Structure 1
Amino acid sequence: MEQWPWWVLGIAIVIDTVIRVTAVIIIPRNRRPTAAMAWLLAVFFIPYIGVILFLVIGNPRLPRARRRKQDQINAYIDETSHQLHFGTLRPNAPEWFPPIVTMNQKLGALPISGDNGAHLISDYQSSLDEMAEAIRTADDYVHVEFYILQSDDATDNFFRALEEVAARGVTVRVLLDHWANRWKPRYRDTIKRLDAMGADWQLMLPMQPLKGRMQRPDLRNHRKLLVVDGTLAFVGSQNVTDSTYNLPKNIKRGLHWVDLMVRVDGPIVLSINAIFLSDWYSETDEVLAEIDITRAEIGSGDLDCQIVPSGPGYEVENNLRLFLALLYAAREKIMIVSPYFVPDEALLLAVNAACDRGVAVELFVSEEGDQAVVYHAQRSYYEALLRAGVRIWMYRRPYILHTKSLTIDDEVAVIGSSNMDMRSFGLNLEISMLVRGEEFVAEMRAVEDQYRALSRELTLEEWLQQPLRSTVLDNLARLTSALQ
């Protein structure tokens, strides 16, 4: 077998050395240590492939122009809301609560508001139908923004409601994530239906290089929200699609998604609408100046609510900072529901610290996984969590518990689209709603009790019986989860 000439080998060695030295200089800069280490391992063990991957998905930020738009949006919202009075706040807030609200507003430029009504919808089909009935009440406009939006048998009532209001002159604006929908069943049918009704629809974060629209290919707009006339809104974890997502692999396995949405009214609707308007501007360059986000209507309750947007358009991970602040503030109990729980060091430390303080911590996850890498990465934390004292509830298969919520003691909760994983912290655009009010947390507790009744508790004894192959897969997935 003919050997390579010495000068070819010499050039290869020089290139390899340059790649490794350059990686040590460039990769750790402004990057979380775990992410930097994961990328360095990839480059050192598979230099050429690792470099290509880093060039394609190594930048977790949106393009500069889009980040500049986000700054403009934040400045506009801050300016218009600075002197406004968004309802009356509840008295006697815990001393740690106002500083968290201040932090959120500094990061996301959205104020807290009082006099809000909020009610949970835990049944999947009921949520779709309640949104449809809300749409039918529209007089002026309907704003629809969902990560996945599909026209199918389960969502037909939702789409018929859009068609009905569009037919009588109501403006229907729709945003849907490009990558999440483009390769899903019924995409073409959904787009045709939107076109036929006259909806003004746009793709979020489109990957269309021939049109000059490019960013890191795995960035997603993961938000789920609906706004009707600026007076009624829905947010939560549920997409507008059948509970199987119409995917053959899910149908074959009998998988169904379990989600939680919240119907809100009052001043907080203005903040939710502001998120839609900001995403609309980001995708279209169109400022919807006719939409008033400064005039609030008193809601049906007296809950204090604050919308916390997050994503790669912001300088820091807004949702992670909110979760950390609440975990350290808890005094009695913490209930976490997250289908994908892959914490970074700070989040894991906050959970452990809560257990050390004597706070009761419970984590609800799915027994079944729908995404292999994330599923195994999540499992790699179970032993440490169990040893710290966290009770882990596994929602029984064939259901995927897709709800994303956090409740603290008996007064404060967060619900929205954000998982507690590194993707939601760094790569996805998310929306979270912070709520203060015992009556809302009581509703959350009832849902958590329902989840607990449909779950089985994972014990440390059971977990230590895991076969070696599972441990290896879990640990490998844990390493890849840090590639951001």
Structure 2
Amino acid sequence: MDWTSIFSLSAIWAGFLFTVDWAIRIASVFFVPAGRKPSAGMAWLLLIFALPIPGLLLFLLIGNPKLPKKRRDVQTEINEVLRTANDDLELGTLLPNPPEWFAPITRMNRELGALPLSGDNGARIISGYQESIDAMEEAIRGAERYVHLEFYILKADAATEGVFEALEDACRRGVHVRVLMDHWANLAKPLHKQTKARLDAMGADWHLLLPLKPLQGKFQRPDLRNHRKLLVVDGEVAFLGSQNLIDPSYNVPKNIKRGLKWVDVMVRLDGPVVRSVDAVFMTDYYSETGRVPDGVDLAEQIPGTDDFDCQIIPSGPGFEAENNLHMFLSLIYAAKKRVVMVSPYFVPDEALIRAVDGAVTRGVKVELFVSEIGDQAVVYHAQRSYYDALLRAGVRIWMYPGPYILHTKSLTIDDEVAVIGSSNMDMRSFGLNFEVSLLVRGDEFVERVREVEDAYRDVSRELTLEEWVKQPRRSRTLDNLARLTSALQ
């Protein structure tokens, strides 16, 4: 082959690639933005225009933020069943004299998440990491009928040994032990095989959530995750919050080397709201197994030890709306005096930024607690990209010191309402993760949450605008680049 032929083939190949590149770019303008938030559509278009072929391949892999249609149909079916059962779940006497905005928000939560507000509930904050694990162990040891355990990360290690011993003892007593855990999150952490073997040996009925097993026909967007953390015992006691069931170092060698430890909050619940927590577990169990757990009666009335009004808000890609984001926005817009947000990963969308800015403009005192150090580099830098705008708006930002990772997810509004759960205030939790949040109305409960916030404030330092503007240009560039990736939904 002579040089003329080689150059001719090169020209043809170059022309082909040029045509493909521009065909991808032009087609993406028509197909990418459809049904997406403007920020997400723009981020995808920027990526595809910069790197057409790699960008297209990535879009095909993780560009769909929803579950496969079959799984969405299951969630729709479950929601209808829950709405039909709402009369059974709506128990207890509600507190008098709610603020005018409260009933419309709880109604919205019910319409979106299919679960009602209930009264006469007990709710106790547990802010000690091992303390919450020990409290869950104690509840499991008292089980007589069933234990429902669902955690994003679940590991049999030194910190959770008591829980696993309690589960083993429950199985020996004939108690039904059902366990759910996220597939990818656990696969990527140490002790996964040992944990599965332990569950098998005790005879637990356990399943992986959102399993990535394409050869078995189980596949969806790989980064869709079930991020929920909850425990239900006999339909009488429940635990819910931000903490995974694992050592506070997550047993990861690099975390141990850095001395990282997670700081979390869980809530122990009793009363009618426990049935709603159980309903969330049952929907996830049914989604993975196609079976409804036996021995569970959602209509059974269990009195609570206090009089708090509580509502459970499930959210995730199985729902048509971003239930948690709708709730956060509505509560922040309703605030009259004070908003305190605790979120380890604060990567808001435009609507949440506007809600926060509007609250400050109305004279509401707004505070945000975040970790001073990060465990996920991209999210950490994306979060930092919002600090300038927040500080200029008048938000006070508190940095929880290392080597701890502040992992609590909470929101308090005035002296009326608190929200605690698994949901961060970031775009991943709004659109890609299955989350569960607890809304509580009651002065005493809000006061207890304020005490936790005060404890965080006592050890944190305040980030000021004067300090922030001194950040080197390279850091700001990295933060802004990471911000673009956060919108790839």
Q: Shorter-chain-normalised TM-score: which range?
A: over 0.9
Q: Do structure 1's residue 320 and structure 2's residue 321 form an aligned pair?
A: no
Q: How does 1:128-139 map to 2 (within 5 A)?
A: 128-139=133-144
Question: For residue 288 of structure 1, what is the aligned residue in structure 2?
Answer: 293
Secondary structure class of the residue paired with 2:340: strand
State the Cα distance separating 1:297 from its structure 2 match. 1.2
Q: Do structure 1's residue 366 and structure 2's residue 371 form an aligned pair?
A: yes
Q: How does 1:71-470 map to 2 (within 5 A)?
A: 71-82=76-87, 85-470=90-475
| Further displaced range: 8-17 or 42-51 | 8-17
- Listed one character per residue, the Cα deviations across residues 413-458 of structure 1 (whole Å, up to 9, x for unaligned) are 1000000000000100000011100000000000000000110100
Task: Give me the whole-angstrom Cα distance separating, in 1, the residues matched to 2:161 and 2:402.
Answer: 27
Q: Do structure 1's residue 475 and structure 2's residue 445 form an aligned pair?
A: no
Secondary structure class of the residue paired with 2:85: helix
The residue identity in structure 1 corresponding to 2:423 is S
- Listed one character per residue, the Cα deviations across residues 280-326 of structure 1 (whole Å, up to 9, x for unaligned) are 00000012253111222120010000000000000010000000000
State the Cα distance separating 1:22 from its structure 2 match. 1.0
Task: Give me the whole-angstrom Cα distance separating, in 1, the residues matched to 2:145 and 2:125.
Answer: 25
Task: Give me the whole-angstrom Cα distance separating, in 2, the residues matched to 1:338 and 1:13.
Answer: 45
CA RMSD of aligned residues (A): 1.0
1:53 maps to which of 50, 58, 81: 58
- Check whether the contact 2:89–2:116 (CA below 8 A) recurs between aligned residues: no
Task: Give me the whole-angstrom Cα distance separating, in 1, the residues matched to 2:104 and 2:459.
Answer: 37
Task: Give me the whole-angstrom Cα distance separating, in 1, the residues matched to 2:177 and 2:91.
Answer: 27
- Check whether the contact 2:90–2:272 (CA below 8 A) recurs between aligned residues: no
Question: For residue 25 of structure 1, what is the aligned residue in structure 2?
Answer: 30
What is the number of equivalent residue pairs in this alignment?
A: 484
- Check whether the contact 2:101–2:334 (CA below 8 A) recurs between aligned residues: yes
State the Cα distance separating 1:5 from its structure 2 match. 3.8
State the Cα distance separating 1:468 from its structure 2 match. 1.1
Task: Give me the whole-angstrom Cα distance separating, in 2, the residues matched to 1:18 and 1:458.
Answer: 47
The residue identity in structure 2 corresponding to 1:283 is E
Structure 1, unaligned runs of 5 or more: none
Task: Give me the whole-angstrom Cα distance separating, in 2, the residues matched to 1:170 and 1:243.
Answer: 28
Secondary structure class of the residue paired with 2:462: strand
State the Cα distance separating 1:83 from its structure 2 match. 6.4
2:71 maps to which of 66, 70, 92: 66
The 1:343/1:214 distance shift into structure 2, 3 A limit, reads same
Task: Give me the whole-angstrom Cα distance separating, in 1, the residues matched to 2:224 and 2:293.
Answer: 25
Secondary structure class of the residue paired with 1:174: strand
Percent of pairs identical after alignment? Answer: 64
Normalized against structure 1, the TM-score is what? 0.99
- Listed one character per residue, the Cα deviations across residues 135-194 of structure 1 (whole Å, up to 9, x for unaligned) are 011000000000000000011011111111111110100000000001211011111111
State the Cα distance separating 1:373 from its structure 2 match. 0.2
| Further displaced range: 374-383 or 80-89 | 80-89
- Check whether the contact 1:328–1:350 (CA below 8 A) recurs between aligned residues: yes
The 1:370/1:63 distance shift into structure 2, 3 A limit, reads same
Secondary structure class of the residue paired with 1:172: strand
Task: Give me the whole-angstrom Cα distance separating, in 2, the residues matched to 1:69 and 1:156.
Answer: 35
Secondary structure class of the residue paired with 1:241: coil
Secondary structure class of the residue paired with 1:341: coil
- Listed one character per residue, the Cα deviations across residues 12-58 of structure 1 (whole Å, up to 9, x for unaligned) are 22222221111000100000000000000010000000000000000
- Check whether the contact 1:352–1:388 (CA below 8 A) recurs between aligned residues: yes
- Check whether the contact 1:86–1:113 (CA below 8 A) recurs between aligned residues: yes
Task: Give me the whole-angstrom Cα distance separating, in 1, the residues matched to 2:24 and 2:405.
Answer: 42
- Check whether the contact 1:81–1:294 (CA below 8 A) recurs between aligned residues: no
Structure 2, unaligned runs of 5 or more: none
- Check whether the contact 2:209–2:288 (CA below 8 A) recurs between aligned residues: yes
Task: Give me the whole-angstrom Cα distance separating, in 1, the residues matched to 2:365 and 2:301.
Answer: 38
Task: Give me the whole-angstrom Cα distance separating, in 2, the residues matched to 1:85 and 1:173.
Answer: 25
Task: Give me the whole-angstrom Cα distance separating, in 1, the residues matched to 2:172 and 2:474.
Answer: 58
Task: Give me the whole-angstrom Cα distance separating, in 1, the residues matched to 2:327 and 2:147.
Answer: 29
- Listed one character per residue, the Cα deviations across residues 92-135 of structure 1 (whole Å, up to 9, x for unaligned) are 00000000011011101101100000000000000000000010
1:16 maps to which of 18, 21, 24: 21
Task: Give me the whole-angstrom Cα distance separating, in 1, the residues matched to 2:153 and 2:328.
Answer: 25
State the Cα distance separating 1:85 from its structure 2 match. 4.3
The residue identity in structure 2 corresponding to 1:159 is F
- Listed one character per residue, the Cα deviations across residues 238-262 of structure 1 (whole Å, up to 9, x for unaligned) are 0000000000010010000000000
Q: Point out 4+ residue stretches in structure 1 off by more than 6 angstroms.
A: none
The residue identity in structure 2 corresponding to 1:269 is V
- Check whether the contact 2:126–2:265 (CA below 8 A) recurs between aligned residues: yes
- Check whether the contact 2:90–2:117 (CA below 8 A) recurs between aligned residues: no
Secondary structure class of the residue paired with 2:247: coil
The residue identity in structure 2 corresponding to 1:440 is F
